[in-house]
Chains A and B, each alone.
Chain A
């Protein structure tokens, strides 16, 4: 029974990783561009949540809305003002600019919030759990997060496949050069894609803040988890990121069960294994 418990924990953790991955995957899908600062933006969202709710004492619901709003705005403006200028055939400039952003964000957050590790408490919810028959107990918080993750992915699905904007985003992913000939403003569409991705990042960051301790240097490993979930799931597949996240989550939780120091390593190793045996990922849709 213990292993069933472990498996459930892993799956639930996978929901969070799927959220990490969805933003990264969305930006790559639309713009063929990987944001190295992705993890640092997740941590930035976590600090925003901390500031609004813990420091300023706002109601959590208000805090969540504010974080999503602020992150979305940063995403839209950042794309239009900075990133659109460096996107092109040469992959070095976007990698470098976002690598630079990553360093700036990490050290900026260090200056503002210090290196102390932080957490946003959600009160009784932190420890509540739901007992199931057969000695199984599911933490209320992980379960809630998993449900929210599913909700966000479902929302993205509706957006992509049932709205005019989603149609434009998929078209941009297919052939960005043609989109202006359809009347689409590429700079604006790119910025909207980043805005949506940043909204997802905001939710991911809020969850991170409520789930574990975080500090200014927590971003890079979140980037790596996101990246691994994307590759495991298969490039360009929305629900693939969920599968990728779950595989990664289960691998980590099982690894931790074997040895506490083995949690992250187990996730990386499973990722490398899948890269070797199935480089296109579990549900590939798009070529890298």
Chain B
């Protein structure tokens, strides 16, 4: 490090913007209507899912179209624990995520036998297996699913307003937490590992093994946090069915389109993608299938024009980077 002359630095615009946004979101239960609050919860949960998929695909190159496996597993384990274990809901949620993480070890071990695009489809098969197995559990409603019993829901908080507030702050924690965790990770020695992965695929044997291990750990970690978000999503919905829990459209297609359209391989991309996604959705509420067709076409367009997505286009127009990830290690 060279010793630059000491100057008083103004707080960068980006930090101010981040701070204002966080305060604004944190105060949402006090300014937002119930509808807005619900929409924000959903957006924050999508943000968490998108950050996790981006970590997996954008930084370690593991393209999964089977993350619905973990959303659904998290949801189902959470429902099972909430209904049968007597654990308080706020404990059942992380326990379900932890259990999902444990299950991700053997599942990942199988999925990692496939590479590249075949890995992607393999994860999808696994999600289908989860879905079909979930439909076999009659205690959890089998194929037609089950609702969270009222008394269990009430154990979260007795009044509806208080429940909304608790749930909102869970969503807030998930959304903001996912951004912070990915950011911290990229600034730590993991960030270096990711750069190594990107730059040197067929590297030496020893590096190859270490890269594999890093990828595997990221796979397991994103599975657990995706499951945590999944548990929350179905707590908010209060009802779970195999088709909703393991929906490839909802938990893979949407998430992938969000990340890719926003900008893969950056922290800002998924944020931008979520904002775009929910904005578009509010306009396109009654477009039906055309909404999905538009999203698909947008994603294809991004791949043809600039595979780094909207964020890269904005950046090249001079929008400042919000989350610097190379503070400690200049490339």
Contacts and interface: CB of A to CB of B under 8 A. Distances in A.
User: Per the CB under 8 Å rule, do A and B touch in the complex?
Assistant: yes
A102 B63 CA distance: 16
Contacts of A271: 125
Contact of B289 (A94, A99, A107, A265): A107
Nearest to A269: B129
Interface string A103-127: 1101110110000000000000000
Contacts of A228: 125
A93 B61 CA distance: 12
A276 interface: yes
Contacts of A34: 116-118, 120-121
A207 interface: no
Contact of B132 (A92, A101, A264, A288): A264
B256 A227 contact: no
Contacts of B299: 96-97, 99-100
Nearest to A224: B125
Contact of A268 (B128, B256, B296): B128
Nearest to A221: B128
Nearest to B248: A220
Contacts of B289: 107-108, 110-111
A189 B31 CA distance: 61
Contact of A97 (B63, B121, B303): B303
Interface stretch (A51-59, A68-76, A83-91, A138-146): A83-91
Interface in B49-87: 57, 61, 63, 65
B297 A91 contact: no
A33 B118 CA distance: 9
Interface in A197-246: 220-221, 223-224, 227-228, 231
Contacts of B125: 224, 227-228, 268, 271-272
Interface stretch (B37-45, B107-115, B177-185): B107-115
B292 interface: yes
Interface in B99-146: 110, 113-118, 120-122, 124-126, 128-129, 132-133, 135-136, 143
A103 B249 contact: yes
A268 B132 contact: yes
A86 B118 CA distance: 17
A93 B307 contact: yes
A94 B136 CA distance: 35
Contacts of B295: 100, 103
A224 B121 contact: yes
B293 interface: yes
Contacts of B133: 265
A16 interface: no
B110 to A, nearest CB: 6
Given A97-B303, A100-B299, A100-B300, A92 B121 contact: no
Contacts of A151: none
Contact of B117 (A94, A100, A265): A94
B121 to A, nearest CB: 5
Interface residues on B, range: 35 or more
B290 interface: yes
A261 interface: yes
Contacts of A66: none
Contact of A99 (B65, B288, B293, B304): B65
Given A34-B121, A276-B113, A101 B63 contact: no
A223 B248 CA distance: 13
Interface string B290-315: 10110111011001100100000000
A216 B324 CA distance: 44
Nearest to B136: A261
B307 A90 contact: yes
Nearest to B300: A100
Contacts of A108: 289, 293
A275 interface: yes
Contacts of B57: 92
Interface of A: 28, 32-34, 36, 82, 85-86, 90-97, 99-104, 106-108, 110-111, 220-221, 223-224, 227-228, 231, 261, 264-265, 268-269, 271-272, 275-276, 279, 288
24 contacts: A91-B61, A92-B57, A92-B303, A93-B307, A95-B65, A95-B120, A96-B303, A99-B256, A100-B257, A100-B297, A101-B300, A103-B249, A103-B293, A104-B296, A104-B300, A107-B292, A107-B293, A111-B289, A111-B290, A223-B121, A227-B121, A231-B118, A261-B135, A272-B125
Given A100-B299, A272-B125, 7 more contacts: A104-B296, A104-B297, A106-B292, A228-B125, A279-B113, A288-B115, A288-B118
* A-B CB proximity, top 6 nearest: A34-B117, A107-B289, A103-B296, A100-B296, A265-B132, A100-B300
